Structure 1
Amino acid sequence: MQINKTYYLLFVLGFILNSCVERYFPDTETNFTSKIVIEGTITTEDEDQQIVVSMSSSVAEPEFVPVSGCEVYVEDEDGNKFTFSEGNAGYYNGRIPDSNIVIGMSYRLYVKTPDGDEYRSKYEELMPCPDVDSIYTEVTSKETTDPDVDEDGLQFYVDLKADDTYGRFYRFGLIETYEYHADFPLDKWVSVDNVYTDLVTPDYSNQVCYVTDSLASIYVLSTDGFSQNSYSGFELHFVNDHTQRLLYKYSLLLKQYSMTESAYSFWKNLKENNQESVDLFGRQPASVKGNVYNINDTTEYTLGYFGVSAVRTKRVMVYPDPSFTFSEVFHCKPVIPDPPIIDRPIYYAVGIDETTGESYTGIVGEECIFCQTTGGTTEKPSYWDE
């Protein structure tokens, strides 16, 4: 899947495995000065954690500019330090023992660059997180850029129900998984060595694939000021019927993160800068200041945020809705080229002539037979048939 490059400039923000926020590149900028970007979220999930250290890049040459060779550690309020080691350039990995991830404990980040610059975050308290209450969908239509055309699909929602022993600030990370199919099995082909093969039984092993993607949109919720720590019908993402995402089976894994009020304000401001402005370039994301600062120069403008979050998860499985037409889904159609194709390999498939209704054998692209060529994997997720 391709991600619009508009979202790649100043930030690598969010929990690294499943809640990434894509960089954002405004179309215009003047007097650009590269700034350090330090980000990461330590969670209660039993897995390696990651801190990312980089430099912002200009719109003229958008790229990830890692800062390598840093000293990185996380420190709790009792003075315990947990070292993070560099893996890929700019990515620092570490694991904090479960016994040291304690609700109510506060943590901060320390980074020292090879140039000797020292950065530290403010302390962040690990807030408790209630269980995910319920996730559900509604079949609906959304307006498009064409006033005469709407798109059908599923709108996802989540309910939050908590008591006053929990905080009032939350973020939701979404991971989608869906099944999609190539249109034809492997049957007849000519290899690169010009060897013709005709299988007795067609091979369907490359026809069904699965894709898992973290959704980059930011979803934050505050119940501060509410009489109760609850919210019904919080709107998540919308999936239309223009692709195969809803055609066979669709899974959504929701991660519910607890946050401090400071972290909520940061994510809310980031969302407004990157996603909710009518003019994406009217408000620059550089104005969203985080909680990381230069120890020896507090006037330096640094980007990024270090947070800690308790996490609760819930997965839902969605099956095709009979009201969806999937009329926009692309399907391969065998062609009979004139002149004949010279390049190898050549894959053959049987099609149906729309005029006569008769079958014929034509040539199709590799992606029409091997579903992996469009980014998926044939390995079925362990939870798919549960």
Structure 2
Amino acid sequence: MNKIAKNNFISKVLAVTSLLFILLLSSCEEVVNLDLETGEAKIVIDAEILWNKNTDGKVQTIKISKMAPYYNNTTPKVSGAVVRVRNSDGDTFIFTETEAGSYVCSDFVPVLNMEYTLFVEVEGKTFTAVEKMTSVAPIKKIDQRYMPDISGPDLLVISVYFDDPVEEQNYYLDYFTTDFLKIPYTIMSNDDLYNGNEVVNEFSDTDLKPGKTVKIVHRGISKNFYNYMNLIFEASSANPFGTTPGNIRGNVININDSNDYALGYFRLCEGETVSYTMK
């Protein structure tokens, strides 16, 4: 099983090296902002339909924004869009703007393996995307252990177990979040090497201590979304929450101009969200 993980801690060796480098440059305190060329502010459509197991999945949110200049601290939200999703049975679900850039549907009906089409009308343009709802293998158990660390105290490790279905090809995207992480620890995987076997995804950090609560979001994703995320990881040094590379296309297209595409990917994932408190 191929895995790509976003590690959220730096080895002590690298930390010491970085500290020495900083000390050598400590006399240079002037901040230099480069005069970067600003390109077109593309529309960004964050359209994840996440159907958590044991819920009805009725409430779903799609967010629309624009790319911002590199030095901006905020992301421009896009208001006034018309957002809807239609399933292959012809049922249409309307997403209403509840706050700037945030569009919510309260009566969505998720069906595994059903095809859905996204429509977004914004700023005189119409964007669309098509994707199927992808299932996920349920979490079987969560446990923890201590892992020896030759550079310091033993590390706590949280392990998530699930059984991969043997009759199909599967792709997974898991987030681990806790209070000391600025962005989720991310594991993306497929079953190329472990089809039909038990799979274990693990997260550890020097700050992971007894009493800390870890939230886990375990998703099934499509092959196309897996490939898209692979490109995002590679282009942003395995940080999927960094600046989105402008030349990586998702599945959201402009129906009138294929070159004027929106950034983002419309995906529909069955998922399982659980919280675990370290002992």
Give TM class, smaller chain.
0.7 to 0.9
Specify whether residues 273 and 264 from structure 1 end up closer, same or farther in structure 2 by C-alpha distance, changes over 3 A only. Answer: same
In the alignment, structure 1 residue 64 sits paired with structure 2 residue 30:
no
1:289, distance to aligned residue in structure 2 (A) = 1.7
How far apart, in 2, do the equivalents of 1:170 and 1:129 lie? Answer: 8
Amino acid at match of 1:267: M
Amino acid at match of 1:252: V
Identify the match of residue 188 of structure 2 among 195, 220, 228.
220
In the alignment, structure 1 residue 77 sits paired with structure 2 residue 85:
no
1:80, distance to aligned residue in structure 2 (A) = 1.2
Stretches of structure 1 that go unaligned for 5 or more consecutive residues are: 5-26, 144-148, 177-210, 320-386
Specify whether residues 218 and 28 from structure 1 end up closer, same or farther in structure 2 by C-alpha distance, changes over 3 A only. Answer: farther
Identify the match of residue 128 of structure 1 among 129, 135, 146.
135
Conserved 8 A contact 1:175-1:215: yes
1:112, distance to aligned residue in structure 2 (A) = 0.4
Conserved 8 A contact 1:129-1:167: no
How far apart, in 1, do the equivalents of 2:46 and 2:259 lie? Answer: 19
Amino acid at match of 2:252: V
How far apart, in 2, do the equivalents of 1:289 and 1:264 lie? Answer: 13
Identify the match of residue 50 of structure 1 among 61, 64, 89.
61
| 1:290-345: CA deviation from partner (whole Å, max 9, x where unpaired) | 110111000114211110011124443312xxxxxxxxxxxxxxxxxxxxxxxxxx
Specify whether residues 150 and 271 from structure 1 end up closer, same or farther in structure 2 by C-alpha distance, changes over 3 A only. Answer: farther
How many matched pairs? 242
1:84, distance to aligned residue in structure 2 (A) = 0.4
Specify whether residues 161 and 302 from structure 1 end up closer, same or farther in structure 2 by C-alpha distance, changes over 3 A only. Answer: same
In the alignment, structure 1 residue 276 sits paired with structure 2 residue 238:
yes
Specify whether residues 130 and 227 from structure 1 end up closer, same or farther in structure 2 by C-alpha distance, changes over 3 A only. Answer: closer
How far apart, in 2, do the equivalents of 1:307 and 1:28 lie? Answer: 36
Residue in structure 2 matched with residue 156 of structure 1 by the alignment: 158
Specify whether residues 85 and 284 from structure 1 end up closer, same or farther in structure 2 by C-alpha distance, changes over 3 A only. Answer: closer
Specify whether residues 38 and 284 from structure 1 end up closer, same or farther in structure 2 by C-alpha distance, changes over 3 A only. Answer: closer
1:235, distance to aligned residue in structure 2 (A) = 3.4
- List aligned pairs for 1:160-175, cutoff 5 A: 160-165=162-167, 167-175=169-177
| 1:91-142: CA deviation from partner (whole Å, max 9, x where unpaired) | 1111244xx31111011211101x3111011x21112222112333343466
| 1:160-186: CA deviation from partner (whole Å, max 9, x where unpaired) | 31223454111112343xxxxxxxxxx
How far apart, in 1, do the equivalents of 2:154 and 2:37 lie? Answer: 41
1:273, distance to aligned residue in structure 2 (A) = 2.7
Q: Flag the structure with larger Rg.
A: 1
Residue in structure 2 matched with residue 106 of structure 1 by the alignment: 115
Specify whether residues 96 and 110 from structure 1 end up closer, same or farther in structure 2 by C-alpha distance, changes over 3 A only. Answer: same
Amino acid at match of 1:128: S
| 1:20-49: CA deviation from partner (whole Å, max 9, x where unpaired) | xxxxxxx88544221110112112233521
Give TM-score, length-normalised by structure 2. Answer: 0.75
Specify whether residues 44 and 232 from structure 1 end up closer, same or farther in structure 2 by C-alpha distance, changes over 3 A only. Answer: closer
Conserved 8 A contact 1:44-1:101: yes
In the alignment, structure 1 residue 234 sits paired with structure 2 residue 182:
no
Specify whether residues 174 and 227 from structure 1 end up closer, same or farther in structure 2 by C-alpha distance, changes over 3 A only. Answer: closer
How far apart, in 1, do the equivalents of 2:194 and 2:152 lie? Answer: 38
Larger relative contact order (Cα-Cα within 8 Å, sequence gap ≥ 6): 2
Identify the match of residue 229 of structure 2 among 250, 260, 267.
267
Specify whether residues 285 and 212 from structure 1 end up closer, same or farther in structure 2 by C-alpha distance, changes over 3 A only. Answer: same
Identify the match of residue 116 of structure 1 among 121, 124, 138.
124
Conserved 8 A contact 1:292-1:303: yes
- Please give the root-mean-square deviation of Cα atoms over the aligned residues, in Å: 3.1
Give TM-score, length-normalised by structure 1. Answer: 0.55
How far apart, in 1, do the equivalents of 2:194 and 2:188 lie? Answer: 19
| 1:203-255: CA deviation from partner (whole Å, max 9, x where unpaired) | xxxxxxxx6988533321111x336233544333x2324xxx625x1222322
- List aligned pairs for 1:304-383, cutoff 5 A: 304-319=264-279
User: What SS does the aligned partner of 1:262 have?
Assistant: helix
Stretches of structure 2 that go unaligned for 5 or more consecutive residues are: 1-7, 9-33
In the alignment, structure 1 residue 86 sits paired with structure 2 residue 53:
no
How far apart, in 1, do the equivalents of 2:248 and 2:58 lie? Answer: 29
User: What SS does the aligned partner of 1:287 have?
Assistant: coil
